[in-house]
């Protein structure tokens, strides 16, 4: 048995039809889901059970789960799951209500960034709270040959708590414990990576302070900022972006090596409740293109 896929986005994003939790023991279905994830970069499965166990089970297809390094956002009974919520939740700082808003690739500021992210709509608003996705392989492919030559081989500094404006209310300097800071030191990754499974060349940067991109190694700030700003504008141009409007029970799974994404919870009024279950899976050190 295999699955069928409807394309939802501009050349990427597949809605995988015919998956039920009952089929999650079927190895053909699992291989079809994995193949769809690699080729479409973002996949959508509808009507997934809103419960921890099936989510943990399907996440195993994409690698071992990586519990969030900010302990306050972990699911109280299942630390592999992060609960993203725009509500006041016990033990959380107000900044955490907007986690995920701003373009980024999950854990790109870690030595071993995430492979896949699985995000399940547990409680979703009737309107708003969408997630945006952009295809970073297509972004690389559509650059000029001159720009490709210029950026291949460059390296970028990333740091979780980095933001140019430390007084910004969402600045991570404000809420990280000493242990959480020690676990998230500066790391350096290639600007253009080679996808370890598909071989595609992908831009591995993102245009917001959430991503923690500090600058290009060996370039002064002005030159680095200008080059990155041009690439960011290209990566998030409308023709490369898909907007996911959530239904309850939507399970969206994306490849962090070939996409970036952004929540829009910063624009969501608090009476519009949004609670999501998220698992990120452990990746490998990015390979230079
Ligand atoms: C995330 O950034 O991983 C979550 C995105 C969202 O909540 O829409």
Confidence at residue 204, expressed as pLDDT on a 0 to 100 scale: 97
Confidence at residue 170, expressed as pLDDT on a 0 to 100 scale: 65
Residue 262: how many other CB atoms lie within 10 Å: 24
Residue 23, helix vs strand vs coil: helix
- Compute φ and ψ for 45, nearest 5 degrees: -115, 130
Q: What is the mean pLDDT of residues 236-261?
A: 97
pLDDT higher than threshold 90 for residue 25:
no
Q: What is the pLDDT of residues 113-162, one digit of tens each?
A: 999 999 999 999 999 999 999 999 999 999 999 999 999 999 999 988 77
Distance CA 168, CA 259 (A): 26
Confidence at residue 1, expressed as pLDDT on a 0 to 100 scale: 65
| Ligand 1 site-directed mutation target among 42, 86, 101, 275, most atoms within 8 Å of CB | 101
Residue 153: how many other CB atoms lie within 10 Å: 11
Mean pLDDT of the chain: 92
Contact residues for 74 (Cβ-Cβ < 8 A; gap 6+): 67, 68, 81, 82, 83
Domain locations along the chain: 4-280
pLDDT higher than threshold 80 for residue 167:
no
Contact residues for 77 (Cβ-Cβ < 8 A; gap 6+): 52
Q: Are 104 and 262 in contact (CB under 8 A)?
A: yes
Is ligand 1 within 6 A of the CB of residue 276?
yes
Distance CA 154, CA 158 (A): 13
Q: What is the mean pLDDT of residues 275-280?
A: 97
Confidence at residue 76, expressed as pLDDT on a 0 to 100 scale: 86
CATH superfamily of the domain spanning 4-280: Clavaminate synthase-like (3.60.130.10)
Please give the model's pTM, rounded to 2 decimal places: 0.92
Q: What is the pLDDT of residues 55-88, one digit of tens each?
A: 999 999 999 999 887 888 898 889 999 999 999 9
Percent of the chain past pLDDT 70, that is, above it, reads 97
Using alpha carbons only, give the angle 261, 2, 244 rounded to the nearest 5 degrees. Answer: 20
CA–centroid distance, residue 121 to ligand 1 (Å) = 10
CA–centroid distance, residue 191 to ligand 1 (Å) = 22
Query: Which stretches within the chain are classed as H helix?
Result: 27-40, 52-59, 136-141, 145-151, 178-182, 221-235
CA–centroid distance, residue 277 to ligand 1 (Å) = 10
């Amino acid at each position: 048995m295999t699955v069928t896929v409807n394309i939802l986005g501009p050349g990427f994003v597949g809605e995988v039809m015919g998956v039920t939790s009952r089929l999650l023991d079927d190895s053909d279905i699992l291989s079809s889901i994995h193949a769809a994830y690699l080729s479409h970069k973002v996949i959508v499965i509808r009507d997934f059970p809103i419960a921890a166990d099936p989510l943990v089970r399907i996440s195993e297809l994409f690698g071992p789960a990586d519990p969030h390094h900010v302990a306050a956002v972990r699911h109280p009974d299942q630390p592999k799951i992060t609960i993203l919520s725009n509500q006041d939740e016990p033990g959380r700082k107000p900044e955490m209500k907007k986690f995920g808003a701003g373009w980024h690739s999950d854990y790109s500021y870690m030595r071993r960034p995430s492979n896949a992210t699985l995000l399940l709509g547990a409680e979703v608003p009737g309107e708003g709270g969408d997630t945006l996705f952009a295809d970073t392989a297509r972004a690389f492919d559509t650059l000029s040959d001159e720009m490709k030559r210029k950026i291949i081989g460059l390296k970028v500094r990333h740091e979780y708590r980095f933001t140019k404006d430390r007084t910004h209310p969402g600045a991570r300097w404000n809420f990280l414990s000493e242990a959480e800071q020690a676990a998230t030191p500066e790391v350096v990754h290639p600007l253009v990576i080679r996808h370890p499974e598909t071989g595609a060349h992908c831009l591995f940067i993102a245009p917001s302070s959430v991503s923690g991109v500090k600058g290009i190694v060996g370039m002064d700030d002005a030159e680095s900022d200008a080059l990155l700003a041009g690439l960011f504008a290209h990566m998030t141009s409308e023709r490369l972006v898909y907007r996911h409007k959530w239904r309850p029970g939507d399970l969206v799974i994306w490849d962090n090596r070939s996409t970036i994404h952004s929540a829009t919870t910063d624009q969501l009024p608090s009476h519009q409740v949004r609670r999501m279950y998220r698992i990120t899976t452990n990746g490998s050190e990015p390979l230079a293109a």
